[in-house]
Amino acid sequence: MLKETDIVIIGGGPGGLASAFSAGREKLRILIIERGEELGGILQQCIHPGFGLLYFKEELTGPEYAERWIKEVEKINNIEIWKKTMVLELYPDKKLIAVNDKGLWEIRPKAVILAMGCRERTHGNLAIPGTRPAGIFTAGTAQRLVNMEGYLPGEKILILGSGDIGLIMARRLKLEGAEVVGVVEKLSFPGGLTRNLVQCLEDFNIPLFLSHTVVEIKGRERLEGVYIAPVDSYGNPIISNKRFIQCDTLLLSVGLIPENELSEIAEIPIDNKTLGPFVDQFLMTEREGFFACGNVLLVNDLVDYVSFQGLIAGECAVKYIKGVIKRERKIPININGNLRLVVPQFISYPIILPEITFYFRVSEPKYNSVLHLKSGNKIIKTWKYPIVKPAEMIVLKINSSVFEETDNITFSMEEK
Amino acid sequence: MTLLKKLTCIICPLGCNLEINEDKGELKILGNKCERGIKYALEEIKNPKRIVTTTVRIKGGIYPVIPVKTSLPIPKDYIFPLLEKLSEIEISAPIPIEYKVLENIFNLGIDVVTTRSMHKKED
Amino acid sequence: MDVIIIGGGIVGTLIARQLSFYSLRILLLEKESDIAMGATKANSAIIHAGYDPMPNTKKAKTNVRGNKLYETICEELKVPFKRNGAFILAFNNEEIKMLEELKERGKRNGVMGLEIISRDELLRREPNINCEVKLALYVPSSGITNPYLLAISALENAWENGVEIHLEERVCNIIKERNGYIVETNKNIYFTKYIINCAGIYADEIIKMIESNSSFKIIPRKGEYYVLDKKMRNLVHSTIFPTPTPISKGILVVPTIEGNILLGPNAHDIEDKEDKSTTQEGLKEVWEKAKKLIPNIPFSSVINTFAGIRAVSNYKDFLIEEFNSARGILHFAGIDSPGITSAPAFAEIAEEWLKEKENLRLKKNFKRERKKPLYFRELTNEEREELIRQDPKWGHIICRCEHVSEREIIDYIRHPLTPKTLEALRKRLRVGMGRCHGAFCTPYILRILSEELGKPVNFFTLKGGKSKILNGENKMRWRYAKRD
């Protein structure tokens, strides 16, 4: 069956909702395709606070943040929402094939907004030696099971990875009465936000084992325990110093991977640093008419940024359809020093937007850093950061005029 | 001077390592880079409070549990007693967002409210 | 019973199917929670050509015969099979000599089409191979399939023809009687005329139940593997072998029929038959040796690891025998590689064996073919549209990595042969075997299981026994704590 629409938004989480909200203000037909049974995406299972501090100037829980956006989007008449619908195929010419219980749909929108979010790195990706018993979960799956299905994954829990999801789940499981024996982190510094380290681990005396990793899994049918070992400066485990930790559940919080399988099928070039599409200031990918926002673009640490990205993607998808965006030339955004990645990765001219928001992540934690914006070799602007951490994104809104007179842009971060 | 407590400040991303010491009956804070750190440390040692988020059982909804939170941070000592109280509750769908599951818990003037609405499960 | 088959691996199931064409009362006993839980599930999935076994051995004869039968069997049972060919690589003069030897041996065994090809030709066909290779032996009749899916399909076919199947039933004792045998299990006692021993790594223990003096012994030999993401599917198209060693065909790079790549297996003897753990050193060995064949494998493409246990024995060859002291029992023991390839030949041998003893009559209306199950991911868009019109549950995708619909999941849960475990669904439907490894679909599948079977979500196991997926008590421990 054919479906006529102007903009398809793949994903009804915070990225999709924000882009629908901003695109919906114009009178174009918008279709949100969501594979779950309700909108809100991952927010529905994130029942802890920490959402909306920037956007709403209030601290909300995930479901509250989602409900505000859902209520706004549902009010807009030209936005249609399809739930329990899955996009099977995405083509470079923007054609989509989607499926739901009414049948198979062929859709040819004028613009596509990618808002598919991300998935978690799995136990299999880590290739941890040992057995393969029941009791090993990614932290996100455990979160869904506890917060939406109402079940404890286990009674004695070890968490591998000190990313935010792992820390949040440490607290959650403790509150549900499980024993959390510790969090194991391979690097010498923790991966999550400091407030989570304090409010999830310190508050409950849950030990954090830095520079350690899980080296063996034991248990035939159900997990019985794991061996952890310290790692050397290259990240290699020192097996001779391994020790056994008894547990019946292992939660993995070892990284998020943007879900770009559909983007790759549509032949949209992917940046191997962000694992998301290359985009310009419009959040338009190298393939015209495709936009990306949220965790599919790069893994964000605050949902507020996802919403900001969604608003831009939606606004620019409309501009694109109206013919306002013309890519006459483009320049790459170069980065060096302690900067590991940047979005957007290039600027298209004419710039059109009054300002460009840049998102950076650093490679290493450092005190007293400076971030320079250079045009050629000339430093145009400098920002000072008393502390930078890989877990905390750096976001800069820069007036577009700065980029008008140049064809060589570099951001570099050094220690002062 | 005796060391009472070590903690990490969470007011800003610097995350200063603070020390709360007692000196002749007075509290002295060390390690902070700004005033807000002192305020945070004093709160943490005198009356640490937290927002508690958890779930409560719900009958007839699209999921068997619904997320809730305390309307304000509650003193840490009340966290587990609150969870015990909440474990005895079961509400019935449909429930709106901000529905008061428990009012004025432990006479603190703080409620426990739902953080989402949940409609009835259609069969 | 007329025939009791001990063991539900590829051997037991293909034999059960072959015999199910005849008017016999057949019972298959499997001690695990599902069939194909042993070597059948954890192997390289290769249908070997037959150049490797020594000529005139049972291994050689059944290998070559089985290889010929694979197309037909897979067509009848609607299981994928592909003759993707294989290359055995030689990196030095000694290995080149070995290639010549293997070519000769293959010819003697009846393998067709073996040819030594040049380095340039090899690299033209498989550009990712280590360019230090000197020569290769091309084996066109080598193939790949899905062995556990084949076992499951064979058993479905056998079941449709009337074979009885008992899972989680382990044979404890066999007692010779006048006209047959008493078979004692952990659940029951049976009397049967014939027994076929296909018990894999436990085949020696079955033999010991009747031949207490037998010197036959299984020496479990572990093989570890890496599984690579389907993104690597163009890494190689044929199966890549190094030159074999006396104990194993070596660590290979094998494409799977589903589009993944396997690296492995290594070969180390172990003590404990149930030790299916992968090891630090073993995985390292596999990785390094695989890289010798294909240098550019990114570690980021690894999506899984596993280990399988070969039923190697202290006999040089397969033990396919009916002992004089225990007539009526046919043993298939010490079935290591090329066991999967030989299994269709074993089925013929079992059939012939029984024909000599009994006047076998074909059943009326027996089925050789299995109805092709419908998999959403394999259907055309028109077929999908039609199915959804009939039943909307075809349009609700639960496993989004492998595109499995709710309808398929429910149908398999309802099928009497399917164990109600996550692992059983995984084998049959591929749910949870994609990129996210069940992270998204597991909660949904648990809910479907719960609704279908009327049990709470935390009742279900990964693979039976104590492998509960949700070990925690039903929520709200505080409630229980207060009660105490």
**What are the tens digits of pLDDT across the range A233-252?**
888 999 999 999 999 999 99
**Longest Cα pair distance anywhere in chain B, in angstroms?**
68
Interface of A with B (CB under 8 A): 37-38, 44, 47-49, 59-61, 63-64, 66-67, 146-150, 172, 175-177, 194-195, 197-199, 202-203, 386-387, 389, 392
Closest residue to C479, CB basis, from B55, B65, B88: B88
**What CATH superfamily is the domain C1-77+145-217+314-372?**
FAD/NAD(P)-binding domain (3.50.50.60)
- The answer to whether the CB atoms of C475 and B57 lie below 8 A apart is yes
Burial class (CB in 10 A: 0-12, 13-18, 19+), A205: exposed
- Chain C hits for A99, CB-CB cut-off 8 Å, are 384, 388, 395, 397
Interface partners of A (3+ CB pairs, < 8 Å)? B, C
C418 min Cα distance to partner chain B (Å): 27
**ipTM score of complex:** 0.92
Element (H, E) at B82: helix B79-87
| Rounded Cα distance, C8 and C37, in Å | 8
At A147-170, the pLDDT tens digits run 998 889 999 999 999 998 999 999
* Cα angle C275, C277, C279; round to 5: 125
Q: Indicate the pLDDT class of residue B27, thresholds 50, 70 and 90.
A: confident
- The answer to whether the CB atoms of A124 and C481 lie below 8 A apart is no
- Chain A hits for C388, CB-CB cut-off 8 Å, are 99, 101-104
Cβ atoms of C58 and C318 within 8 Å: the answer is: yes
pLDDT of residue C469: 93
Q: Indicate the pLDDT class of residue B13, thresholds 50, 70 and 90.
A: low
3-state secondary structure of A235: coil
Domain co-membership, A90 together with A151: no
Please identify, among A267, A298, A325, the residue that sits at the C-terminal boundary of a domain.
Answer: A325
Nearby residues of C462 by Cβ (< 8 Å), 6 or more positions away: A133, A134, A221, C421, C422, C423, C468, C469
C469 min Cα distance to partner chain B (Å): 18
Say which amino acid occupies B79: I
Share of chain B above pLDDT 70, in %: 98
pLDDT of residue C483: 33
Low-confidence ranges of chain A (pLDDT < 50): none
Domain co-membership, A231 together with A377: no
Q: Indicate the pLDDT class of residue B123, thresholds 50, 70 and 90.
A: low
Domain co-membership, A116 together with A262: yes
Token reading at C467 = 């492998």
- The answer to whether the CB atoms of C476 and B84 lie below 8 A apart is no
Q: Is C438 left (phi over 0), alpha (psi -120 to 50) or beta?
A: left
- The answer to whether the CB atoms of C475 and B65 lie below 8 A apart is yes
Domain co-membership, A316 together with A407: no
Cβ atoms of A248 and A223 within 8 Å: the answer is: yes
Task: Please give the backbone phi and psi of residue C294, each rounded to the nearest 5 degrees, phi first.
Answer: -125, 100
Burial class (CB in 10 A: 0-12, 13-18, 19+), C153: buried
Q: Give me the residues paired with residue C47 across strands.
A: C143
Nearby residues of A89 by Cβ (< 8 Å), 6 or more positions away: A95, A96, A97, A262, A265
Per-residue pLDDT of chain C (484 residues; tens, 9 = 90+): 999 999 999 999 999 999 999 999 999 999 999 999 999 999 999 999 999 999 999 999 999 999 999 999 999 999 999 999 999 999 999 999 999 999 999 999 999 999 999 999 999 999 999 999 999 999 999 999 999 999 999 999 999 999 999 999 999 999 999 999 999 999 999 999 999 999 999 999 999 999 888 999 999 999 999 999 998 999 999 999 999 987 778 999 999 999 999 999 999 999 999 999 999 999 999 999 999 999 989 998 999 999 999 999 999 899 999 999 999 999 999 999 999 999 999 999 999 999 999 999 999 999 999 999 999 999 999 999 999 999 999 999 999 999 999 999 999 999 999 999 999 999 999 999 988 899 999 999 999 999 999 998 889 999 999 999 998 755 544 443 333 2
Tell me whether C469 touches chain A (CB under 8 Å): yes
Pairing status of strand C261-264 against strand C252-255: antiparallel
Q: Which CATH class is domain B53-114?
A: alpha beta
- Chain A hits for C477, CB-CB cut-off 8 Å, are 152, 176-178
Domain co-membership, A2 together with A20: yes
Task: Please give the backbone phi and psi of residue B40, each rounded to the nearest 5 degrees, phi first.
Answer: -60, -45
- The answer to whether the CB atoms of C478 and B57 lie below 8 A apart is no
Residue A318 to residues A3, A17, A77, A290, A312: CA-CA distances in angstroms?
19, 15, 16, 11, 10
- Chain C hits for A177, CB-CB cut-off 8 Å, are 477-478, 481
| Rounded Cα distance, B91 and C224, in Å | 51
Nearest one of C370, C425, C359 to C148, comparing CA atoms: C425
Task: Please give the backbone phi and psi of residue C201, each rounded to the nearest 5 degrees, phi first.
Answer: -70, -10
Which among A119, A148, A226, A256 is the top mutation candidate for probing chain C, defined by the most C β-carbons within 10 Å of its own β-carbon? Answer: A119
Domain span holding position A315: 1-120+255-325
Which among C34, C280, C474 is the top mutation candidate for probing chain A, defined by the most A β-carbons within 10 Å of its own β-carbon? Answer: C280
The gap between the terminal CA atoms of chain B, to the nearest Å, is 67
pLDDT of residue C199: 97
Domain co-membership, A266 together with A385: no
How remote is the C-alpha of A251 from its chain's centroid? 19
B24 min Cα distance to partner chain A (Å): 28
A170 min Cα distance to partner chain B (Å): 13
- The answer to whether the CB atoms of A197 and B8 lie below 8 A apart is yes
Token reading at A415 = 């220690």
pLDDT of residue B122: 81
pLDDT of residue C94: 93
Q: Give me the residues paired with residue C323 across strands.
A: none
Pairing status of strand C3-6 against strand C86-90: unpaired
Tell me whether B121 touches chain A (CB under 8 Å): no
Interface of B with C (CB under 8 A): 55, 57, 65, 83-84, 86-88
Token reading at C63 = 């290998």
Q: C396 an active-site residue? A: no
Q: Give me the residues paired with residue A358 across strands.
A: A396
Provide Rg for chain A, Cα atoms.
22
A152 min Cα distance to partner chain C (Å): 5
Cβ atoms of C27 and C54 within 8 Å: the answer is: no
The strand ranges marked E within A116-211 are 118-120, 136-138, 156-160, 179-184, 208-209
**Mean pLDDT, all residues of chain B:** 90
Task: Please count the helices (runs of H) and the strands (runs of E) in chain B.
Answer: 2, 10
pLDDT of residue A212: 97
Interface partners of B (3+ CB pairs, < 8 Å)? A, C
- The answer to whether the CB atoms of C481 and B84 lie below 8 A apart is yes
Domain co-membership, A413 together with A349: yes
Nearest one of C246, C218, C220 to C333, comparing CA atoms: C218
Q: For C444, which residue in chain B has the nearest alpha carbon?
A: B63
Number of domains in chain A: 3
| Rounded Cα distance, C84 and C81, in Å | 9
| Rounded Cα distance, C456 and C473, in Å | 11
Q: For C482, which residue in chain B has the nearest alpha carbon?
A: B84
Q: Per-domain residue ranges for chain B?
A: 2-46, 53-114
C389 min Cα distance to partner chain A (Å): 7
pLDDT of residue C480: 38
CATH classification code of C78-144+220-307: 3.30.9.10
Nearest one of A313, A289, A319 to A111, comparing CA atoms: A289
B47 min Cα distance to partner chain C (Å): 25
| Rounded Cα distance, A25 and A287, in Å | 25
Domain co-membership, A133 together with A90: no
Tally of CA atoms within 13 A in the half-sphere of B54 that contains its CB:
28
Q: For A83, which residue in chain C has the nearest alpha carbon?
A: C396
Q: How many CB atoms lie within 10 A of CB C453?
A: 13
Helix (H), strand (E), coil (C) string for chain C: CCEEEECCCHHHHHHHHHHHCECCCEEEECCCCCCCCCCCCCCCCEECCCCCCCCCCHHHHHHHHHHHHHHHHHHHHCCCEECCCEEEEECCHHHHHHHHHHHHHHHHHCCCCCEEEEHHHHHHHCCCCCCCCCEEEEECCCEEECHHHHHHHHHHHHHHCCCEEECCCCEEEEEECCCCEEEEECCCEEEECEEEECCHHHHHHHHHHHCCCCCCCEEEEEEEEEEECHHHCCCCCCEEEECCCCCCCCCEEEECCCCCEEEECCCEECCCCCCCCECHHHHHHHHHHHHHHCCCCCHHHEEEEEEEEEEEECCCCCEEECCHHHCCEEEEECCCCCHHHHHHHHHHHHHHHHHHHCCCCECCCCCCCCCCCCCHHHCCHHHHHHHHHHCHHHHCEEECCCCEEHHHHHHHHHCCCCCCCHHHHHHHHCCCCCCCCCCCHHHHHHHHHHHHHCCCHHHCECCCCCCECCCCCECCHHHHHHHC
Which among B57, B68, B80, B87 is the top mutation candidate for probing chain C, defined by the most C β-carbons within 10 Å of its own β-carbon? Answer: B87
Q: If you ran DSSP here, which 8-state letter would residue B111 be given?
A: -
Residue C216 to residues C6, C62, C308, C311, C381: CA-CA distances in angstroms?
18, 21, 21, 12, 55
- The answer to whether the CB atoms of B13 and A202 lie below 8 A apart is no
| Rounded Cα distance, C316 and C246, in Å | 12
| Rounded Cα distance, C215 and C193, in Å | 25
Domain co-membership, A237 together with A342: no
Q: How many CB atoms lie within 10 A of CB A349?
A: 16
Q: Which residue has the tokens 């909108």?
A: A39
Task: Please give the backbone phi and psi of residue A247, each rounded to the nearest 5 degrees, phi first.
Answer: -165, 160
Q: How many CB atoms lie within 10 A of CB C97?
A: 12
CATH of the domain at A137: 3.50.50.60
How remote is the C-alpha of C64 from its chain's centroid? 18
Please identify, among A254, A277, A295, the residue that sits at the C-terminal boundary of a domain.
Answer: A254
Element (H, E) at B79: helix B79-87
Element (H, E) at A72: helix A62-75
pLDDT of residue C473: 59
Q: In what order do the strands lie in the sheet with C26-29?
A: C164-166, C26-29, C3-6, C194-197, C329-333, C319-321
Q: For B33, which residue in chain A has the nearest alpha carbon?
A: A386
Please identify, among A197, A232, A254, the residue that sits at the C-terminal boundary of a domain.
Answer: A254
C263-296 burial code (b ≥16 CB/10 A, e <16): bbbbbbebeebeebbbbbebbebbbebbebbbee
